Structure 1
Amino acid sequence: MPFICDVTGAQPTFGNAVSFSHRRTRRRWNPNVQRRRFRLTDGSTVRLTVSTTGLKIIDRDGIDAVMARVRARKATR
Structure 2
Amino acid sequence: MSRTCEVTGAGPGFGNNVPWSKKKTRRRWNVNLQSKRYYLPSEGRHVRLRVSTKGIKIIDRDGVEAVVQRMRAEGRRI
Pair in the same fold by TM > 0.5: yes
- TM (normalized to structure 2)? 0.88
1:73 aligns with 2:60: no
1:35 aligns with 2:25: no
- 1:32 maps to a residue whose letter is N
- 2:48 maps to a residue whose letter is R
Q: For residue 58 of structure 1, what is the aligned residue in structure 2? A: 59
Q: Partners of 1:17 and 1:6 in 2: how far apart?
A: 28
Q: Partners of 1:5 and 1:41 in 2: how far apart?
A: 23
Structure 1 range deviating more: 15-24 or 45-54: 15-24
- TM (normalized to structure 1)? 0.89
Q: Partners of 2:50 and 2:75 in 1: how far apart?
A: 14
What is the aligned-residue RMSD (CA, Å)?
Answer: 1.2
1:6 aligns with 2:22: no
Q: Partners of 1:74 and 1:24 in 2: how far apart?
A: 40
Q: For residue 20 of structure 1, what is the aligned residue in structure 2? A: 20
**Unpaired stretches in structure 2, ≥5 consecutive residues:** none
Higher fraction of helix: 1
Shift of 1:74: 2.7
Q: Partners of 1:66 and 1:73 in 2: how far apart?
A: 11
Length, aligned pairs only: 75
Moved over 6 A (4+): none
Shift of 1:73: 1.5
Percent identity, aligned pairs only?
56
